[in-house]
Amino acid sequence: MPQLIFFGLIAAAGWYGYRHFIKEANRVTAKIRREEQQAASGSQGTLVQDPETGEYRIAKD
């Protein structure tokens, strides 16, 4: 019985690590795609509107 608990914990840790890895890989891929689009269009960043003041500023990653 202790072996099942041990292997269950190992499997859970592996699953958590895999999910975290995939989430981080998707985040990095999206950032790279945004940077490639900005380089292709010659822009220096993406503008977002500040909800409080209504002014547009460059988005922070």
Q: What digits encode the pLDDT tens for the residues 1-50?
A: 899 999 999 999 999 999 999 999 999 999 999 889 888 888 787 889 99
CA 20/CA 58 separation, integer angstroms: 28
pLDDT of residue 61: 63
Q: What is the pLDDT, as a whole number, of residue 20? A: 98
Q: Are 26 and 15 in contact (CB under 8 A)?
A: no
Q: Is 46 exposed, middle or buried (0-12, 13-18, 19+ CB in 10 A)?
A: middle
Residue 37 and residue 25 in contact, taking contact as beta carbons nearer than 8 Å: no
Q: What pLDDT score does 59 carry? A: 82
pLDDT at residue 4, rounded to an integer = 95
- The pLDDT, as a whole number, for residue 34 is 86
pTM, full prediction: 0.63
